[in-house]
Amino acid sequence: MAAKADIQATRIAAATSNVVIAPPVRLKGIIVAGLATSGTVILKTTSATGTTLFQGDVPAGDIINFSFPEDGILFPKGVFVSTFTVAAVTLLTDKYSGPGLTAE
């Protein structure tokens, strides 16, 4: 089965109140690497205190890899992180234009 669209991977390795992905984007999948203790990552849109669109928990020392069905989760005002108590997160999204990337 052929892929429907190009995928962009964005890695987050630390908590930040800044935007992680600025343009509107669809989250197609996520990979969350846990720490020695259980952890949580919460992704919001608009700001780090905006509307929660994804919350994921990961058991101690585990790695979660999840693909969202259909069109994924739309982040209409970009992706922000409000809670980050995991080792790292990789967001798999539609391809977007950003620093170091060119629009098609």
Grade residue 14 by pLDDT with cuts at 50, 70 and 90.
Answer: confident
- Per residue in 36-83, pLDDT (tens digit) is 999 999 999 999 899 999 999 999 999 999 999 988 999 999 999 999
21 falls within a domain: yes
Q: The pTM is what?
A: 0.84
Task: Give me the pLDDT at residue 7, please.
Answer: 86
Dihedral angle at the C-alpha atoms of 61, 13, 8, 81, nearest 10 degrees?
100
Q: What value does the mean pLDDT take over residues 77-104?
A: 79
15 falls within a domain: yes
Q: Look at the chain and report how many structural domains it folds into.
A: 1
The domain that holds 27 is classified in CATH as: 2.60.120
What's the domain range around 17? Answer: 7-94
User: Please, are residues 84 and 41 in contact by the beta-carbon 8 Å criterion?
Assistant: yes
Structure letter (DSSP) for residue 60: T
58 falls within a domain: yes
Task: Give me the pLDDT at residue 1, please.
Answer: 45
